[in-house]
Amino acid sequence: MTDATLEPEPAAAATLLGDRLELTRRFTENLAKHGEELGLIGPLELPRLWTRHVLNSALVAPLLRPGLVGDVGSGAGLPGLVLAIARPDVQFVLIEPMERRVAWLNDQVNELELSNVSVLRERAEDVRLTARLDQVTARAVSAFKKLLPLTAPLVRDGGELVLLKGANAQNEIDAAQKEMRKYKVSDARVQVLGEGLTEDVTRVILGTVRS
């Protein structure tokens, strides 16, 4: 697949990424060039790579605080690598079990010279961290109630879930009341990001972990 079908860069990219735009462009171009052959993105995603994927991820950057953030099921690097590019002041650990995807993530970390990222080849439920996470992100991994056991145990007391979701986000919270009690997640709510700025908004489920 050539760059010819890649979506032109939206104007919002410069607003959202500032001096990290050039690095984000390089990542987006790499993903456009190799993503399909590596099975990271479908062929239909190229015409919406910026809007649907890269900016969808970048919109979350202002919600992160300096500290340690984990991204569960990073896959192509969404949102983990985009956020690591956008927020060099935050440390990231990308958690991904599939060997080929881990190889891609490590290649990108090296090529883009990202010094704030480590990659763990593991399923989230098997991860044992020396320090627990301040925040955890995930995108397109599973429904909120199934995501809770994969994410909440990795987070420190008072830390936060920041889970990228679709239009059904509030319904996912409503369906996860039992699991929220079990995994001690409180104050779950939906926040909409990017209204008036990007073509597609990003919805996140936020929640506080009490352990």
Ligand X SMILES: C[S@@+](CC[C@H](N)C(=O)[O-])C[C@H]1O[C@@H](n2cnc3c(N)ncnc32)[C@H](O)[C@@H]1O
Least distance to ligand X, CB of residue 128, Å: 13
Least distance to ligand X, CB of residue 137, Å: 9
Per DSSP, the residues of the chain read: --GGGSPPPPTHHHHHHGGGHHHHHHHHHHHHHHTTTTTSS-GGGGGGIIIIIIIHHHTTGGG--SSEEEEET-TTTTTHHHHHHH-TTSEEEEE---HHHHHHHHHHHHHTT-TTEEEE-S-GGG---SS-EEEEEEESSS-HHHHHHHHGGGEEEEEEEEEEE-TTHHHHHHTTHHHHHHTTEEEEEEEEE-TTTSSS-EEEEEEEE--
CB closer to ligand X, 43 vs 158: 43
Instruction: For the segment 112-171, give every residue that binds ligand X (CB under 6 A).
Output: 123-125, 139-141, 150
CB closer to ligand X, 165 vs 209: 165
Contacting ligand X (CB under 6 A), which of 69, 72, 120, 162? 72
CB closer to ligand X, 186 vs 191: 191
Least distance to ligand X, CB of residue 122, Å: 7
160 is in an annotated binding site: no
Is residue 75 close enough to count as binding ligand X by CB under 6 A? Answer: yes
Q: How many residues belong to the site for ligand X (CB under 6 A)?
A: 18
Q: Which residues contact 203 (CB under 8 A, 6 or more apart)?
A: 164, 165, 166, 167, 169, 190, 191, 192, 193
CB closer to ligand X, 78 vs 152: 78
Least distance to ligand X, CB of residue 18, Å: 23
Do the strands 91-95 and 155-165 form a parallel or antiparallel pair, or are they unpaired? unpaired
Is residue 31 close enough to count as binding ligand X by CB under 6 A? Answer: no
Q: Which among 28-36, 69-77, 154-162, 189-197 is the span making contact with ligand X, rule CB under 6 A?
A: 69-77
Contact 56, 164 (CB under 8 A): yes
Least distance to ligand X, CB of residue 89, Å: 22
Is residue 95 close enough to count as binding ligand X by CB under 6 A? Answer: yes
Which residues of this chain interact with ligand X, rule CB under 6 A? 72-76, 78, 95-98, 101, 123-125, 139-141, 150
Which amino acids are annotated as binding site for S-adenosyl-L-methionine, given as ranges? 73, 78, 124-125, 139
